[in-house]
Chain A
Amino acid sequence: MSALTGSARRTGGRNILPWLAVPALLFFVGFAVVPLVGVFLLSFTTWDGIGDIDPSGLTSWRAVLTDPGLPHALWVTFLVMAVSWAVQTPASILLGTFLAGRQRYRAVLSVVYFIPLLLSSAAIAVAYKALLDPNFGLGAGLGVEWLSKDWLGRPWLAFGVVVFVVSWQFVPFHALIYQGGVQQIPHTLYEAAQLDGAGRVRQFFSITLPQLKYTVITSSTLMVIGSLTFFDLIFVLTEGGPGDATRVLALDMYKRGFQANLMGPASAIAVILVLIGLALALLLRRLGGRDAGESQLEGV
């Protein structure tokens, strides 16, 4: 920030740049800070969402923290996060590298791959739900035995389906990020490697991957923080079921707040979600090293 104001001064501006941040800041305060404070205060009350709000101290927090549903929801959230990261990252890197090529058919394919990102989560969930219906879905329609499983009715199958659909939806987005990342890598590096006799695989592991380090961190941050908010897709697809097999924290919060009319405990969960999101974002930043802004291209 100080560097920016400095340069503004040098060009004769009178500290205009900080003011440019005001609209964004207002939005941030209005749509993030104010609701956050509201949720924090609500977590110390008892409220059914309809009547009066009664302050009740730590009752809601006690109810949430002693409920075995909380560790379970945390575990499911973490599992969705970890597994969908592990599925999406390699797939996106490979796809992104592939699409970074200059050939025309790759440009066509990248448009095709982009399509899932244009659909709303709810529409995707409804479509997959219909396709996976054990009695009227794809498997039953085509007479393919292995496709007509009880996909959303068995805990681990349902979990797998959630991860698959999430990946299907978001791999295109991350592939796009990686495509951009790969295209930023100077061609001279590859030429040098070729002269040294490195094959394609060697080039990928020795040049492409290391050069993508910060792209990986950016993409992972988006995936990890994003997975905390998976709600719409899971809500439509499984409603957290069967039982509570896919009930992630965001869904648990919704069910408590808007179905069971327990706004206090739901707010407590919302606060927990914020803290986890904050901690994860900071952790990922640490992993990126303190020198995240430093160039990878020194000496090139």
Chain B
Amino acid sequence: MDIPLSRRTLLSFAASVPASAALAACGSSGPGNGGGDGATATYWHLSGQPQEGVRTGAVERFNEAGNKGRIDVTTFENDAYKTKIKTAIGAGQAPTIIWGWGGGGLRSFVEAGQVDDLTPWFDENPEVKDRLFPSSFGAATVDGRIYAMPFESVEPIVLFYNKRVFDDVGVEPPESWDDMMALVPEFNAEGIAPFALGGQSRWTNMMWLEFLFDRIGGPEVFQAVFDGEKNAWSHPAAIEALTLVQDLIKADGFVKGFSSITADSNADQALLYTDKAAMMLHGSWSYGIQQAEGGDFVSSGGLGFMNFPPVEGGKGDPGNSVGNPAQYLSISSKASAEQKKIAKDFFAKGVLTDKEVKEWIDTGAVPIRKGSEKLLAESESAEFLQFVYGIASNAKTFGQSWDQALSPTAAEVLLDNIARLFQLSVSPKQFTDNLNEVIGK
């Protein structure tokens, strides 16, 4: 037997399993009872202020309110969480309470029997359901059954702009796609990026396509994809939207180096509030981040916002929007009965309390609890909050983000091709061909 050989073989074997071994090793904080009195339910959610503070605050209040059992929180970065939660659930190491976006991801958990059906519980506790926006239940529902509790806030994607920069350059906010294209050379001539974009995160690029598809062809274009119609991506409106976005890239519409900027670092938003970029298409949660990190940018009225403008000759209703109709909490089917009980107590008594609703409003978010109009109007961010509330309540169609609506498999192919589209390394035709192959998968 040859010892050096086997040692090298060991090296190469070790090479083959790093991800699975490493990830399995990470899943140490799964279900389990903490010491002390009563059971402990675990809860994973996203990190990042100011939202993280509101989430953990709600849990702390629940733990201190003398309920039986307590909840332990672990937080993760957005992009890391998407992978982590899937792996943990697959490995049977899921937390009791699973934070999520609903839609296709939730469906894959449901099909594997990993999350509990909450329909009977909502039937028994109608007061919990009735106080939430009805529109928020769509993405929580799989085949007519409710598997998640909607909570937190409605988050449409909106077009933010920097009023200071617009004044300096002496131009007006765009009212159409052609206006936007016309603004590009104006800002570039002044050395200001027309649009900030955190392109490495990929879903950031996707927001542009979501709006262009809708404005040009209406919501039925993506609906056909979602419904699994053959070759649905080849719709003429899709090709036109993809061509328009590549025109914008070729005209240097996005900030230099957008492919190396990640959204999790908030660098895209920093470009906007440091006057290095004029506009940015981003989720409404960005308002709170700019408020917290942008100095007096928001409070001095520097931040402007609007719904995505119409495209000339497009069929879509300019009032339509896309984004996150809410965030979602599910209960792991692998949790113990005690843990499930704690989770349901939390859903009924600890989620979207008056205090939490107030805190969401303070971060510039519109909570999905009914009857908060008065609080919205009193807030110091009233203008933005009423704008978001208006979009959420008036949009004829409020589409869910594509990568959340589709299955994880189709979403990965979509995001991969979107990155290439923005690199100009695939044409609109190649893009639609690649995506037609994963329709319905």
Contact = CB atoms under 8 A, between A and B. Distances in A.
B16 A274 contact: yes
A132 interface: yes
B81 interface: no
A281 B270 contact: no
Given A51-B111, A153-B258, A250 B200 contact: no
B11 A225 contact: yes
Contacts of A134: 256-257, 260
Interface in A215-252: 221, 225, 228-229, 231, 238-239, 241-244, 250
B3 interface: yes
A39 interface: yes
Interface string A35-55: 110010000000011111000
A52 B112 contact: yes
Given A49-B86, A136-B267, A242-B423, A281 B11 contact: yes
A152 B259 contact: yes
Interface in A148-195: 149-155, 158
Given A244-B420, A250-B18, A259-B83, A1 B256 contact: no
B412 interface: yes
Contacts of A282: 5
B257 A135 contact: yes
Contact of B10 (A28, A228, A261): A28
**Highest count of chain B CB atoms <10 Å: which of A155, A238, A277:** A277
A285 B19 contact: no
A277 B419 contact: no
Contact of A277 (B12, B89, B108, B259): B12
Contact of A39 (B3, B20, B89, B255): B20
A278 interface: yes
Contacts of A149: 257
Contacts of B228: none
A32 B4 CA distance: 16
B108 A261 contact: yes
Interface residues of B, number: 56
A28 B13 CA distance: 9
**Highest count of chain A CB atoms <10 Å: which of B13, B16, B267:** B16
Interface in B175-200: 199-200
Given A281-B12, A285-B8, A153 B408 contact: no
B236 interface: no
Interface string A115-144: 000000000000001001111100000000
Nearest to A273: B16
A259 B11 contact: no
Contacts, number: 169
**Highest count of chain B CB atoms <10 Å: which of A39, A154, A243, A280:** A243
Interface residues of A, number: 60
A50 B109 contact: yes
Contacts of B412: 255-256, 259-261
Nearest to A256: B412
**Highest count of chain A CB atoms <10 Å: which of B13, B21, B89:** B13
A85 to B, nearest CB: 16
A257 interface: yes
B281 interface: no
A239 B419 CA distance: 11
A48 B409 contact: yes
Contacts of B3: 1
A231 B90 CA distance: 22
Contacts of B90: 48-50
Contacts of B1: 1
Contacts of B89: 50
Interface string B16-33: 111111010000000000
A80 interface: no
A155 B211 CA distance: 28
Given A50-B90, A241-B200, A242-B259, A225 B83 contact: no
B260 A229 contact: no
B12 A150 contact: no
Nearest to A261: B408
B391 interface: no
Interface string A13-49: 0000000000000001001110110010000000011
B114 interface: yes
B337 interface: no
A262 interface: yes
B393 interface: no
B292 to A, nearest CB: 17
Contact of A135 (B13, B16, B256): B256
A222 to B, nearest CB: 8
Contact of B261 (A133, A158, A231): A133
Contacts of A158: 260
Contact of A153 (B5, B113, B199): B199
B266 to A, nearest CB: 11
A242 B260 contact: yes
Nearest to B92: A50
B267 A135 contact: yes
Interface in A268-284: 270-271, 273-274, 277-278, 280-282
B15 A228 contact: yes
A257 B412 CA distance: 11
A70 to B, nearest CB: 14
16 contacts: A32-B10, A36-B17, A39-B17, A49-B90, A51-B111, A135-B256, A136-B267, A152-B257, A153-B199, A153-B259, A238-B260, A258-B86, A258-B87, A261-B108, A281-B5, A292-B4
Going nearest first, the 8 A-B pairs with the smallest beta carbon separation are A277-B12, A134-B257, A51-B112, A152-B260, A153-B259, A260-B412, A150-B257, A32-B13
Given A135-B256, A242-B259, 8 more contacts: A28-B6, A133-B267, A153-B257, A228-B12, A241-B259, A273-B16, A280-B12, A285-B4
